[in-house]
Amino acid sequence: MNRRDFLAATATAPLLGSLPLFANNNSSTAVDSLLVHTTTPMNAEPHLANLVKSDITPVSQFYIRSHAPNPKIDPAAFRLKVEGLVERELSISLSELANDYSSVRVTATLTCAGNRRYEHSKVSPVKGVPWREGAIGNAVWSGVPLAAILKKAGVKQEAKHVWFEGLDEIEKGGGIIPFGASIPIPKAMDSSEKMPGAMVVTQMNNKPLTPDHGFPVRTVVPGYIGARSVKWLGKIVVSDKPSTNHYVATAYKIVERADAMEWAEKAPIYRFVLNSVICTPVADQRVEPGNLTVRGYALPHGESGRTVKSVEVSADGGRSWSRAKLGSTSAYCWCLWEANVSVSPGTNGLLVRATDSAGKTQPQHVDWNKKGYLFNAWHHVPVK
Ligand SMILES: Nc1nc2c(c(=O)[nH]1)N[C@H]1C(S)=C(S)[C@@H](COP(=O)(O)O)O[C@H]1N2
Ligand SMILES: [Mo]
């Protein structure tokens, strides 16, 4: 199947729920059709059958992961600050961002490091939002390559990391902190027009960002976990070390004990991992014996040039595998797929596994980690 046929096959069904009208305030999206984990702050994900309907995820079906309520931002007064190890500090208004820099538009997948945490919790309980498999979406992002802004500011020789700071106010340890992230300088300075290492984004799917997704400005870091793509971006700091913000210095690491020593010793997670998920049929759905069409998504490891190479589905516990037809595949992007399997009266579940262009296949099992990050074991869906 070529890309157009595939998109036609998967993108036609109407989406559930209504498209909200967005005001430039802090109000949250109408989330009728999402599985809502918490409302203040908003944490919600789409149902899998909706997620797999289109290669580009509509904003109304895009997961929302926020650590605090959306900040109120006046677009006219807004300035993006650039400081730290730079020759010139910058204070960029929205109109300067639009007029003084050339903009780019890229398609990239955003996924939360905690995607599939719910399954991980079945091994042993894990704290945190119990994400199913929907904390992922593929969108078209428009904005300015981070490298262009850094070039204008003039990065000093000693620079090693670029910090991002949000304008949100998160209650943490008795105080208030913003959400923060940082990325290494080579990633920040990667200025390929087709896929910059990082972007300062103002539009999602060709419309201004909504409050839930970071209006007016966010970063998008293709290939990295969602936590590095800071919403409501207020400040960029060039530094000789990784950010000292809680969400880099402590959270978003793979730990087993989660004591102070381990938090201090472990490195932050940057790239997302090879993964695949069955979206239809959904868990516990009744299926008839005979031929069954299975649909889902697969994600390559978030490394330059890696794409999904093959996806295999099994209806007999992994004894035999059917190769899926793949939709469009590109680096830093998910790939939708469709497979036909033969269901027997004894079938009680479906399995999927993906292999990417580096020849790596998803692991059958993964080691448990205390925070339930980067879960990418073969996805199993029980069916009746
Ligand atoms: N300022 C800010 N940026 C943030 C967050 C946040 O809580 N505050 N959450 C992060 C996490 S953990 C993820 S997975 C993505 C989710 O982006 P989305 O809500 O647009 O899907 O935003 C990231 N950026
Ligand atoms: Mo996340």
Q: Where are the domains of the chain?
A: 70-109+137-265, 275-382
Whole-number pLDDT of residue 31: 63
For 245, the token pair is: 């913000």
Q: In terms of C-beta density within 10 A (0-12 exposed, 13-18 middle, 19 or more buried), how is residue 264 classed?
A: exposed
Q: Which helix (H) or strand (E) holds 277?
A: strand 275-280
Tell how far the Cα of 226 is from the centroid of ligand 1, in angstroms: 6
Q: Which one of the ligands is nearest to 181 CA? A: 1
pLDDT score for 312? 98
Sign of the dihedral defined by the CA atoms of residues 368, 372, 377, 380, in that order: positive
Using DSSP, state whether 149 is helix, strand or coil.
Answer: helix
For residue 333, give the amino acid letter. Answer: C
Residue 284: other Cβ atoms inside 10 A: 9
Pocket test for ligand 1, best of 60, 66, 131, 207 (most atoms within 8 A of CB): 66
Helices (H), the chain: 3-10, 48-51, 94-99, 117-123, 146-153, 185-188, 246-249, 260-265
pLDDT computed for residue 17 by the predictor = 32
Assigned CATH for 70-109+137-265: 3.90.420.10
pTM comes to: 0.92
pLDDT at residue number 193 = 82
Residue 106 CB contacts under 8 Å (≥ 6 apart), including other chains: 140, 141, 194, 195, 196, 199, 222
Please give all residues whose CB falls under 5 A of ion ligand 2, grouped by chain where several chains appear: 65, 112, 226-227
Q: Which residues have C-beta atoms less than 6 Å from ligand 1?
A: 62-67, 110, 112, 166, 168, 179, 213, 226-227, 229-232
Give the pLDDT score at 267. Answer: 95
Instruction: Report yes or no: 295 and 337 within 8 Å, Cβ to Cβ.
Output: yes
Identical fold between 70-109+137-265 and 275-382: no
- Per-residue tens of pLDDT for the chain, all 384 residues: 344 443 333 333 333 233 333 333 455 555 669 999 999 999 999 999 999 999 999 999 999 999 999 999 999 999 999 999 999 999 999 999 999 999 999 999 999 999 999 988 888 888 899 999 999 999 999 999 999 999 999 999 999 999 999 999 999 989 999 999 999 999 999 998 889 999 999 999 999 999 999 999 999 999 999 999 999 999 999 999 999 999 999 999 999 888 889 988 999 999 999 999 999 999 999 999 999 999 999 999 999 999 999 999 999 999 999 999 999 999 999 999 999 999 999 999 999 999 999 999 999 999 889 999 999 999 999 999
CATH topology of domain 275-382: Immunoglobulin-like (2.60.40)
How many A from CA of 220 to the centre of ligand 1? 10
Question: Which of 154, 111, 157, 164 has its CA nearest to residue 134?
Answer: 111
Question: Looking at residue 200, what is its pLDDT?
Answer: 98
Backbone angles phi, psi at 141, to 5 degrees: -110, 130
Taking CA atoms only, the protein residue closest to ligand 1 atom 2 is: 231
221 CA to centre of ligand 1 in angstroms:
12
Q: Cα separation of 104 and 209, whole Å?
A: 15
Residue 29: predicted pLDDT: 54
